[in-house]
Amino acid sequence: MIAGSASAIAAAVRSGDRSAVEVLEEHLARVGRHEADIHAFNLVLEDQARAQAAAVDQAVAAGRDPGPLAGVPVALKDNLCTRGIPTTCSSRILEGWKPPYSATVVERLAGAGAVFVGKTNLDEFAMGSSTENSAFGPTANPHDLSRVPGGSSGGSAAAVAAGFAPLALGSDTGGSIRQPAALCGVVGAKPTYGLVSRYGLIAFASSLDQIGPFALDVADAALLLDVMAGPDPCDSTCLADPPPGARARLAGGVEGLRVGVVRELANAEGLAPEVQGRLDDAAASLSAAGAKVDEVSVPAAVYGLSAYYLIAPAEASSNLARYDGVRYGLRAGRAAGTGADPTDILAMYTDTRSAGFGAEVKRRIMLGTYALSAGYYDAYYGKAQQVRTLMVRDFDAAYRDFDVLLAPTAPGTAFELGAKTADPLTMYLNDVCTIPSNLVGHPAISVPFGTGADGLPLGVQVLAPALGETVMFQVAAVLEAAAPPTPASPMRGEAR
C-alpha cells in the first residue's frame, strides 16, 4: 500500500486513525496551490465535499462503517451526471445544466463513503486524446506543464497524478482512460463492456463507452472497480450475472500463466521505439516471474483504428442529435448572447448546435452522418461492423492459447500542447493500441512502466477476455511490482 493511496486512507478513516475532513483538507490544499497551473477541474466541490467528509466522520464516531471508500477523495469526470451539480461534458451546449439525477456509479461511490472533490475536465463529449478539445481550456500534464495529459479523461488522470485525489472516474470509448493514465503515470482500467452501469454517463458511442477507474496503484483501481461494478435496472446493457472480483487474486502471481504479446499492436503505426523497448521489458519481467510469454497474432487488430473512426462517430451522430435546444442546455438566441432569436424551430436547432458544439464534435457528427448516409452505409458503417466481427474472432482465437495479452498503451510519452491539434488523423493515431478492446468489449488496464527518454511516464497494457478482470488485475499487479520506477509528479511528491 503506497502512502496516500485510497486503500491506506480508507483503512485509516475506518479505524478512526485519521478523519475524513483532515484527509479532504490536505487534498483541497494541494488543489488550492496547483489547480491554476493544471486546470484538472471544471468545478471543485469544496462545500459539498466538506459535508460528505463530515458525514463520514460522524458515521465512524457513531460506530457505523462508512464503507470501503471511507473518506477517500474521488474526482469525477464531468460527463457523469451529478444531481443538482453542473455537468458540462466540457461543452458550451451543456454549460450551466444541472442534471435531475445522478449516475449509478456516483450513487454507488457515495454509498461506499467516497468524498467527491470535483468534476474533471475532458475533451468535449469525450471526443479527443489530449483534453485540448474542452470548451473551458486545456488541462496540463502534472509531470510537465507544457505537455498534454492525454484524453479524453485528461482532467481525471491529471487530478490523480497531481495528488488532488487518489482516485478518479473516467470513461473509455477508444482509450480515454488508459491513454491519459499512461501519459500521467497512473493506473487506468477499462472494464468489460456491461460490467459497470452506464446510467448517467452522458453517451458518446453507446456500444463502446464504459466507465472505469483511475488510481495511484493497481490495488486501488481494483478496489474502485469492485465498488462500482454490478447490475443496474437503469441500464439494460449492464450484465445481470455477478461480476468476478477485480481483487480476487491480486497477490496470485503469474506462475504458469500464458501471456501473449500482440504482434500487430507492438508494431502499430506511429509507435516510438522506446515504447517497444518498454513493452519488451514488461514481457521479460512477466517471464522472469514465471509466466509463459510468447508472441501472438491478432490480424484484424490492424483495422481497429479505421473501424473505430467509422463506428464511434456514427453512434455519436445519433446520440448527439438530442442537443437541440428544446429540453435542456443552450438555446441560441438573444438570451444566450449568440445573436438574434431564431424565428422558427429549424433555425433554432441549427443556431443552437452551431454555437454550442466545438470543432471536433462537429467533425465527428458529420463523419458519422456521412458514414450512415444513403449510398455510403454499406461501404463504411456496415463494413466496419463486419470488421468488428473479425476482431472478435481473432481475439477469441488468441485467448484459446493465452490467458492475457500484452500491448503498449500509447504510441509515445505526453506530447506538447498544440502539437497535434492541426491534424485530426494524427491525433486519432494515439488510440491505435487501445481501440481494439472497446470494439470487442473486453477489459484492459494500463500500468505505468518506466519513462521515455524525456523522463515522462509510459504505460503498458494488459488485455483480458470478457469478464477476465480477475486475471487481468492479477497480471497487472505483477507488472507494477516489476516496473522501473516512475517518478511522482512534483505536486504529489511535495512534502505535506
Partner 1 sequence: MTVMGARITTRDVAHVARLARLRLTDEELEQYTGQLAAVLDHARDVELLDTAGVPPTAHPLPLRNVLRDDVVRPSLDRGEVLAAAPSVEAERFRVPRILGEAP
- Catalytic positions: 77, 152, 176
In the region spanning residues 186 to 205, those forming contacts with partner 1, defined by CB under 8 A, are 193-194
Q: What track of x and - describes contact with partner 1 for positions 117 through 156 (by CB under 8 A)?
A: ----------------------------------------
Q: Does 346 engage in binding with partner 1 (CB under 8 A)? A: yes
Q: Does 287 engage in binding with partner 1 (CB under 8 A)? A: no
Q: Does 98 engage in binding with partner 1 (CB under 8 A)? A: yes
CB of 35 to partner 1, least distance (A): 28
Q: Out of 187, 307, 417, 479, point to the residue binding partner 1 (CB under 8 A).
A: 307
Nearest of 457, 436, 452 to residue 296 by alpha carbon: 436
In the region spanning residues 203 to 222, those forming contacts with partner 1, defined by CB under 8 A, are 207
HSE at residue 227, side-chain half, CA atoms within 13 A, is: 29
Q: Which stretch binds partner 1 (CB under 8 A): 59-67, 174-182, 244-252, 417-425?
A: 417-425
User: For residue 187, what are the β-bridge partners?
Assistant: 215
Q: Does 282 engage in binding with partner 1 (CB under 8 A)? A: no
Q: Do residues 216 and 2 lie in contact, with contact meaning Cβ atoms separated by under 8 Å?
A: yes
Please give, one letter per residue, the 3-state secondary structure of 365-393: HHHHHHHHCCCCCHHHHHHHHHHHHHHHH
CB of 457 to partner 1, least distance (A): 28
CB closer to partner 1, 148 vs 307: 307
C-alpha cell at 50: 466538506
CB closer to partner 1, 100 vs 273: 100
Q: Write the CB contacts of 10 (distance below 8 Å, at least 6 apart in sequence).
A: 68, 69, 70, 71, 72, 113, 223
Rg (CA), the chain: 21
Q: Does 362 engage in binding with partner 1 (CB under 8 A)? A: yes
Q: Does 421 engage in binding with partner 1 (CB under 8 A)? A: no
Q: Using CA atoms, how far apart are residues 222 and 339, in angstroms rounded to an integer?
A: 49
C-alpha cell at 334: 438573444
CB of 329 to partner 1, least distance (A): 8
Q: Which stretch binds partner 1 (CB under 8 A): 244-252, 277-285, 381-389, 412-420?
A: 381-389
Q: Out of 8, 11, 248, 347, point to the residue binding partner 1 (CB under 8 A).
A: 347
Instruction: Please report the DSSP string for 206-220 in residue order.
Output: TTT-EEEEEESSHHH
C-alpha cell at 33: 496551490
Using CB under 8 A as the binding criterion, the count of chain residues that bind partner 1 stands at 77
Other CB atoms within a 10 A radius of the CB of residue 434 amount to 31
C-alpha cell at 400: 484459446
Q: Which stretch binds partner 1 (CB under 8 A): 28-36, 110-118, 280-288, 377-385?
A: 377-385
CB of 193 to partner 1, least distance (A): 4
CB closer to partner 1, 142 vs 304: 304
CB closer to partner 1, 253 vs 424: 424
Q: Does 324 engage in binding with partner 1 (CB under 8 A)? A: yes
Q: Does 379 engage in binding with partner 1 (CB under 8 A)? A: yes
Q: Out of 378, 400, 485, 496, point to the residue binding partner 1 (CB under 8 A).
A: 378
CB closer to partner 1, 67 vs 441: 441
Q: Which stretch binds partner 1 (CB under 8 A): 162-170, 177-185, 365-373, 452-460?
A: 365-373
Q: Does 267 engage in binding with partner 1 (CB under 8 A)? A: no
In the region spanning residues 227 to 266, those forming contacts with partner 1, defined by CB under 8 A, are 233, 236-237, 239
Q: Which stretch binds partner 1 (CB under 8 A): 29-37, 130-138, 246-254, 376-384?
A: 376-384
Q: Using CA atoms, how far apart are residues 244 and 249, in angstroms rounded to an integer?
A: 10
First to last CA, the chain: 18
Residues, the chain, total? 496
CB of 1 to partner 1, least distance (A): 34
In the region spanning residues 428 to 467, those forming contacts with partner 1, defined by CB under 8 A, are 428, 439-442, 466
Buried b / exposed e along 364-393 (16+ C-beta atoms within 10 A): bbebbbbbbeeeeeeebbebbeebbeebbe
Q: Using CA atoms, how far apart are residues 444 and 407, in angstroms rounded to an integer?
A: 10
Q: Does 299 engage in binding with partner 1 (CB under 8 A)? A: no
Q: Using CA atoms, how far apart are residues 67 and 353, in angstroms rounded to an integer?
A: 43
Q: Do residues 26 and 71 lie in contact, with contact meaning Cβ atoms separated by under 8 Å?
A: no
Q: Write the CB contacts of 280 (distance below 8 Å, at least 6 apart in sequence).
A: none
Q: Are strands 73-77 and 258-262 parallel, antiparallel or unpaired?
A: unpaired
CB closer to partner 1, 12 vs 390: 390
Q: Does 375 engage in binding with partner 1 (CB under 8 A)? A: yes
CA angle 110–111–116, rounded 5-degree value: 10
CB closer to partner 1, 251 vs 346: 346
